[in-house]
Structure 1
Amino acid sequence: MTAGVIPAPSSSLGIKLFSCTLFFKANSLTNSTTTNYLRPPITEAVIEVRVNHTLKEENVNKIVKKLQSIYPNKSTVNNLSINITPQPEGGDQLNVNSRPEDYHLVSDDQINIAIVSSNSLAVSQLAPYQGWEAIHKNFVEAWKIWKRVSSSHPISRIGVRYINRIDIPLQDEKKIDLEEYLTFNPQVPILSDLPMVVYLMQITQPIDSLWSVNITSKGIQSPLVNNLSLLLDVDVFRTKDIPLSDEGLWEAINEARSIKNDIFDKCITQKTKELFY
């Protein structure tokens, strides 16, 4: 088997999970230069803040109502968790726990989204990507609404997440070599001469004493004819020493975005970058 080679996806696919370690040095990220792409592969950009407090339902509803002037289309998502605990006498105990609903608010153009829960606020932007300034402005507006309704509480997590879909044109052989497009690849044992059908990699790594990153990569069905798509999901987050002031928060969020950009560039090859020009 040729590691890192996947053929065009079929209608019936299995999933294999691989893990690997990807090292990033904080100083190299800070000193690198971000590339501006003509056609960035971004399908969704997200800014999220979580607080170390659970808001009352009435306050959540107030926030939702005020945000609906910007995001008028509302839906709710129920949060359920199921735990199965083996019992000493035999059998299993099933525990179902529910948390307050999340509210998904969507703009009329279906591009901008706000997600409100009892302890978090997220703003996302779907393709076509309108730029960092646009999503940052949307989050600042939403956060001001949140703070007008809720008292100030310590922030437990901030994150900037970008989900990218890399569309790769297929040649006559109808397969690609991952090493030509990504700088990290699953290492698999030689099981046969057949190429890998599906891959999924998930990586979590500290960047420095404050920042960490979750990276997910997998092959997905492409919406384009004669293409194979790779998903590259980069989530940069911080859970300690988060600034209390809004000015400090904006600075930290901008820093997360810069780190995310550098990590994305380090995850892809020059051949991949040429797809975005």
Structure 2
Amino acid sequence: MQARKYYSRTPITEAVIDLRVELLPEVQPDILVQVHSSIQAEYPKCEDMFLLEGLMIAGDSVGATASQSRIGYRFVSSDQKQILQTRLDGFTFSRLAPYDCWETFRDEAQRLWSIYQSLTNPKTIVRLAVRYINRLDIPLPIGDLKEYLRTFPEVSADLPQGLSGYFMQLQIPQNNLGAMLVLNETIVPPPAPDVVSVLLDIDIFKEQDIPNDEVEIWHFLEQLYKLADEVFEACITERTRELIN
């Protein structure tokens, strides 16, 4: 597989770096909100994040109860293009369109992770992930999806070939990295009536044998990013490249 090229009309709608952690019991949500004091100038909006739990009771009578507990905070940048989640179970940083490049995205995630880590001192990291959500806007009419996509659902020749919608998920082990690739592909509402929009969601994560060293963690995330680029290129054709160049 080849690495992704630079595209002037990049189809990336959201890029995500995610680190799931186990924290010590004494780390409570009021510690997580302290992140805001260090980033408030760039991320002025702070929102609570809650976990909602429900309980159904059956017996002589049936009833239900619900409770919610704060699990963290969500911080949004001034331009609403960057979102940080600091939770009791981890750290997630997202960049929405327009996406610049991996280096800018990674460096900001690393800066924010350093703040989160210094406040929470995670006991262990249990999951590392890089995710890229792409929207490919393909002009109508489309003769065959094969003209634009190399990974797509193939319909039996004995069935009608027209598609008004589909959802496909592939789970592909990445044995060389001890990671898993989850590839989701589906048709989504288009931004204009003269195109069909296909969502290409590339999620790569590792849940075992996570490196403990900080340098190794970010080196591994770099490997996941490079793999995500290779997967993207492996899924599209030259005709699609022409659309986003």
For Structure 1 versus Structure 2, the TM-score category normalised by the shorter chain is 0.7 to 0.9
In the alignment of these two chains, the number of paired residues is 242
Structure 1 residues 216 and 84: alpha-carbon distance in aligned structure 2, compared to 1, 3 A threshold: farther
Per mean C-alpha deviation after superposition, the further-off stretch among 205-214 and 187-196 is 187-196
1:138-181 CA deviation, whole Å, 9 max, x = no partner?
Answer: 1111111012211242100011111101011113xxx4532222
Q: Which TM-score applies when normalising by structure 2?
A: 0.87
The answer on whether the counterparts of 2:44 and 2:76 sit within 8 Å (CA) in structure 1 is yes
Unaligned runs of 5+ in 2: none
State the identity %.
29
Structure 1 residues 182 and 67: alpha-carbon distance in aligned structure 2, compared to 1, 3 A threshold: same
- Whether 1:265 and 2:224 are equivalent positions in the alignment is no
Instruction: Give matches, 1:64-213, under 5 Å.
Output: 64-81=36-53, 96=66, 98-171=68-141, 175=142, 177-188=144-155, 193=160, 195-208=162-175, 210-213=178-181
1:228 aligned to 177, 196, 215, which one?
Answer: 196
Structure 1 residues 193 and 249: alpha-carbon distance in aligned structure 2, compared to 1, 3 A threshold: closer
Q: Which has the higher contact order (CA 8 A, sep 6+)?
A: 1
Q: Using the alignment, how far apart are the partners of 2:158 and 2:94 within structure 1?
A: 41
Cα deviation for residue 194 of structure 1 reads: 6.9
Cα deviation for residue 127 of structure 1 reads: 0.9
Unaligned runs of 5+ in 1: 1-28
Q: Using the alignment, how far apart are the partners of 1:145 and 1:190 within structure 2?
A: 56
1:89-145 CA deviation, whole Å, 9 max, x = no partner?
Answer: 899886756453442211111111111111211111111112111111111111110
1:223-275 CA deviation, whole Å, 9 max, x = no partner?
Answer: 13411111001011111222212111110111110010001111112221221
Q: Using the alignment, how far apart are the partners of 1:215 and 1:82 within structure 2?
A: 31
Cα deviation for residue 45 of structure 1 reads: 0.7
1:61-101 CA deviation, whole Å, 9 max, x = no partner?
Answer: 2224433343111223433255779x7x8998867564534
Q: Using the alignment, how far apart are the partners of 1:181 and 1:212 within structure 2?
A: 25
Per mean C-alpha deviation after superposition, the further-off stretch among 70-79 and 112-121 is 70-79
AA aligned to 1:38 is: S
Q: Using the alignment, how far apart are the partners of 1:255 and 1:97 within structure 2?
A: 40
- SS of the equivalent of 1:273 reads helix
Q: Using the alignment, how far apart are the partners of 2:170 and 2:239 within structure 1?
A: 23
- Whether 1:254 and 2:227 are equivalent positions in the alignment is no
- SS of the equivalent of 1:114 reads strand
- Over aligned residues, Cα RMSD in angstroms? 2.7
Q: Corresponding residue for 1:8?
A: none
Per mean C-alpha deviation after superposition, the further-off stretch among 41-50 and 75-84 is 75-84
- SS of the equivalent of 1:206 reads strand
Structure 1 residues 91 and 223: alpha-carbon distance in aligned structure 2, compared to 1, 3 A threshold: farther
Moved over 6 A (4+): 89-93
Q: Using the alignment, how far apart are the partners of 2:172 and 2:69 within structure 1?
A: 29
